[in-house]
Amino acid sequence: MKPLVLLTSFTSRFSAAIDVDGLQSLYLWAGEEGVVAWRIWVEVRRAVVAPLLRFGTVLCTIMSVMLVLEFVGMGVVSLGVKLLRRVPEKRYKWEAFKQQDVDVELGNLAYPMVLVQIPMFNEKEVYKLSIGAACGLDWPPDRIIIQVLDDSTDPIIKALVELECKAWASKGMNINYEVRNNRKGYKAGALREGMRCSYVNQCDFVAIFDADFQPDTDFLMRAIPFLVNNSKIALVQARWDFVNFDECLMTRIQKMSLDYHFKVEQEAGSSTFAFFGFNGTAGIWRISSINEVGGWKDRTTVEDMDLAVRASLKGWELLYVGDLKVKSELPSNFKAYCHQQHRWTCGPANLFRKMALDIVMTKEVSLLKKLYMVYSFFFVRKIVSHIVTFFLYSVIIPASVVVPEVSIPAWVVVYIPTAISLLNAIRNPRSIHLMPLWILFENVMSMHRMKSTMIGLFEAGSVNEWVVTEKLGDALKANPETQILEKPPNKLRERLNFSELGFAVFLLFCASYDLAYGMNYYFIYIFLQAIAFLSVGFGMVGKHVPNSWQ
């Protein structure tokens, strides 16, 4: 706490020298150079800094209103769906497959042919779980094809995956192990190559599961009837469930955000416009719809969302089934989480840049749906939310305490973020005690997401960066000793996140200045936010895995 005391003492003395005793005291305290520097700062502050902050305040106020209206709108729709029980089975025709109803002559031919794709890349810890879950699906063995798309670069892991496929093949499963000689297009490229295999031509639907996803045995029995009985549906998306959400604080916070995404955003989009962003896994596509819209494209890092948008523009409907859950794993390592968030944030912004005009110009969907896709789905959620969260709460509010010419309305500082937090808390009642930590952590992550958004919008350097999210499966449970530092203690430097540490210094200065001389209580929030940036900066968030597990 000693540096913080010194910082507070400095700002207190400096402010007192200026405003209590005037320039004469400043001269005695800091000398002639100090007086000149102060006068220059005052002029620059009034002529440049204050106008910029005022402009930023107005802009962020407008974006905050847009954001809170979006939250309210989605919340009302999702609540209406829940109260009116507008479940998918009531909105669409659904009839279960019953063995006694199957034509005796047709036999298993009454079941559609299903392809199950499992894309993977060096998935040492989870490949057995995913392949085993896919092979355990309750579906006639002669009406399902398992396709393992292995882009692994580690020859040992490739050999293990191939051996696992052969083991299941020896048990009678129709499983195919497919590899490429390059990683062009990453996941999109692997899925595209997989669809070109000759045996895919006999399939009607394709289910996609990332390597850490483990569907229950009745997944196909519950999802396929929607596609069979409703010819306009192109996709059935399941909800993600998390096997390791209680592993650490970071995974609990991730669950809160993703639960809101599925319970509110996906539910609202599906029930009102039959459109939402495909989550890339735990979903089943009608193969004819994929072929009609041009197949998988690797022009962005969100090939899943790209396909969903193109299908919707062709008139296809997308269905989200919230009661259908698939177990998966949350990243528990902070750097792995950052890589994932970069892909999930940069990709949509870049896709918006590429497809906004196509959405506006299409004649196959209604004006209302086009407005929803451009404004609500892309602009507010994928662009505005990341920009306003970072600039308003981490830049403008802290900076305003040292620029007295700028004042921010209380309803912008207090009421809007409170409303957004409450709307999120309503759908996460069991985690309401974590809301303050969720807010602080999300503000830290907003710095990364804002940067990724700008990279996507302007197609900057790492726009197509693709780092596969590290998965650990049961490794941590089986080996508790792996819950140690990523590097030995004498290499602490490698755990530091310098961008967060640098920003923490800025926040500490603003908070100390406000505490010593401010006219409000912003310092309480700013100090807490500074602590959050420091915690992340010193590598105190998430779990760290030794090199042998990476």
Q: Hey, which residues are catalytic here?
A: 151, 304
Please name every residue paired with 179 in a beta bridge, in sequence order, or none if there are none.
150
In a 13 Å sphere around the CA of 360, the CA atoms on its Cβ side amount to: 9
Provide the 3-class DSSP secondary structure of residue 235.
strand
Residues 6+ apart with CB under 8 A from 391: 56, 60, 450
Neighbours of 53 (CB within 10 A): 21
Provide the 3-class DSSP secondary structure of residue 120.
strand
Residue 250 near residue 541, CB atoms below 8 Å: yes
Q: Give the tokens for residue 79.
A: 């609540």
Tell the residue number behind the tokens 């505490």, with chain if given: 515
Tell the residue number behind the tokens 């220059």, with chain if given: 40
Which H or E element spans position 72?
A: helix 50-83
What's the CA gap between 460 and 454, in Å, rounded? 8
Tell me 431's DSSP state. Answer: G
Residue 320 near residue 284, CB atoms below 8 Å: no
* Exposed / middle / buried, residue 110 (Cβ in 10 Å: 0-12, 13-18, 19+): middle
Provide the 3-class DSSP secondary structure of residue 501.
helix
What's the CA gap between 265 and 322, in Å, rounded? 11
Which H or E element spans position 207?
A: strand 205-208
What's the CA gap between 462 and 444, in Å, rounded? 20
Q: Give the tokens for residue 449.
A: 């997401």
The two beta strands, 144-150 and 175-179, are parallel
- For 160-180, letters b (16+ CB in 10 Å) and e give bbeebbeebeeeebbbbbbee
Which has the closest alpha carbon to 320: 528, 78, 503?
Answer: 78
Tell the residue number behind the tokens 């549906």, with chain if given: 233
